């Protein structure tokens, strides 16, 4: 399929699935355990019904907005996605470059396969760094210092990862990062010669921001396993307060689904609250983010911006999220599928699809600008996002 024939994020997902070995695709695509939350995230958006306005001039929909205190070309943030160099070499840089060209914030994962400095140099734009909280506080501090020195405007602290989820697709496929060929994966890799050639030409991906990280004392453990074993399950409110005091730029907290947590976080002085369940990759059975969003928005009471990820696949999902009170959505798998299918051009195609769908949805809803999207669009029995 040619990129011009990709008319939806699902089309790009199908292209990525054909191009990638099964183990690599499943790592990107899969969720935890029975993948109940993975499916619920999509269903949460699909169940939201809109009531369009009519007789409104919508000939030129305006997507421009502000996200966490700065201008953006659309209410979309690129969410952090780890290990994506396993899908396409330099995929982190590719997606970040597209985000910069289109005027969107880009979030680099702790487990990215391009470094903090490389993305800043080669992509630029509005950059946020997503921090996994590790027991090695000195190493975490070093990551924060590197992000600040490279000009990253925001730090996104992931709160919903006290331990790694059980992703059974990866276990069945024998998938690890770095890639380690063995009898279960050799045939899988060999049946995708285009992907194999790229990996041989560019070298296997590695977690560039974790070079020198020790974590586990087990020399046989992969870097991913070391990170999982080194997550700080004791990280609490006092620790977050100390982190807030050390990081003086924008601080966004990711992984929030409870209203009482959102209320307390807003009082703590964070700059943004990110409703997320990690794309269904951690706790299976967790509430869908679209279902959690209204209560979080009510609890925050406009004190800080609220973002949402997990399950966003259509431009109309952006309208749904904003009507529920979010300032912006964050997309991870959408641009990842595009990059895995065709590199930078594929990532750009993914965002073009979402931009076009968002403009069309705004026109059909009778909302000439992002500012006009509010809870009046929601079906009455869905409930109001705002008090």
Q: Which of 274, 272, 331 is nearest to 303 (CA)?
A: 272
76: helix, strand or coil: strand
Query: Can you spell out the DSSP letters for 285-346?
Result: TPPPHHHHHHHHHHHHTTSS-EEE-SS--SHHHHHHHHHTT-SEEEESHHHHHHHHHHHHHH
In this structure, what is the dihedral angle of CA atoms 205, 207, 213, 217, given to the nearest 10 degrees? -60
Residue 190 zone, left/alpha/beta (φ > 0; ψ -120 to 50; rest): alpha
- The catalytically annotated residue of 59, 192, 202, 278 is 278
Q: Tell me, yes or no, if 192 is annotated catalytic.
A: no
- Mention every residue, 6+ apart, whose C-beta is less than 8 A from residue 238: none
Contact assessment for residue 92 and residue 125, using Cβ atoms and an 8 Å cutoff: no
Using alpha carbons, list the distances in angstroms from residue 226 to 2, 214, 383.
Answer: 39, 7, 44
For residue 9, give every residue at least 6 positions away whose Cβ sits within 8 Å of its Cβ, in sequence order, or none: 313, 314, 333, 334, 337, 338, 350, 353, 354
Which residues have CB under 8 Å from 189's CB, separation 6+?
A: 21, 181, 195, 196
Give the residue numbers annotated as catalytic, written as ranges.
Answer: 278
């Amino acid at each position: 399929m040619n990129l011009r024939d990709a008319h939806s994020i699902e089309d790009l997902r199908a292209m990525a699935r054909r191009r990638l070995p099964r183990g690599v695709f499943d790592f990107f695509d899969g969720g935890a355990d029975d993948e109940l939350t993975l499916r619920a995230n999509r269903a949460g958006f699909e169940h939201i019904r809109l009531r369009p306005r009519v007789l409104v001039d919508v000939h030129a929909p305006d997507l421009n907005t502000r996200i966490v205190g700065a201008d953006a070309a659309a209410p979309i943030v690129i969410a952090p996605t780890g290990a994506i160099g396993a899908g396409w070499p330099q995929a982190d840089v590719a997606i970040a470059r597209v985000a910069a060209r289109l005027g969107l914030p880009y979030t680099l994962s702790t487990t990215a396969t391009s470094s903090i400095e490389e993305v800043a140099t080669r992509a630029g734009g509005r950059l946020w760094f997503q921090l996994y909280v590790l027991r090695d506080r000195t190493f975490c501090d070093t990551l924060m210092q590197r992000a600040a020195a490279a000009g990253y405007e925001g730090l996104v602290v992931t709160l919903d990862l006290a331990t790694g989820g059980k992703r059974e697709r990866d276990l069945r496929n024998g998938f690890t990062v770095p890639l380690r060929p063995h009898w279960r994966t050799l045939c899988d890799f060999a049946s995708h010669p285009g992907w194999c050639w790229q990996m041989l030409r560019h070298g296997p991906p590695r977690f560039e921001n974790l070079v020198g990280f020790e974590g586990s004392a087990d020399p046989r453990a992969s870097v991913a396993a070391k990170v999982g074993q080194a997550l700080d399950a004791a990280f609490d409110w006092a620790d977050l307060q100390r982190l807030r005091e050390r990081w003086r730029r924008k601080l966004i907290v990711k992984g929030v689904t409870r209203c009482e947590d959102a209320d307390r976080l807003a009082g703590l002085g964070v700059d943004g609250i990110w409703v997320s369940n990690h794309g269904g990759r951690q706790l299976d059975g967790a509430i869908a983010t679209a279902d959690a969003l209204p209560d979080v928005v009510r609890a925050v009471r406009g004190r800080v911006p609220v973002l949402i990820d997990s399950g966003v696949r259509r431009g109309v999902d952006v309208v749904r999220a904003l009507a529920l009170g979010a300032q912006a959505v964050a997309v991870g798998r959408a641009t990842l599928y595009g990059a895995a299918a065709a590199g930078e051009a594929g990532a750009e195609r993914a965002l073009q699809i979402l931009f076009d769908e968002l403009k069309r949805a705004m026109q059909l809803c009778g909302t000439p600008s992002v500012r006009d999207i509010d809870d009046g669009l929601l079906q009455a029995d869905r409930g109001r996002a705002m008090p």
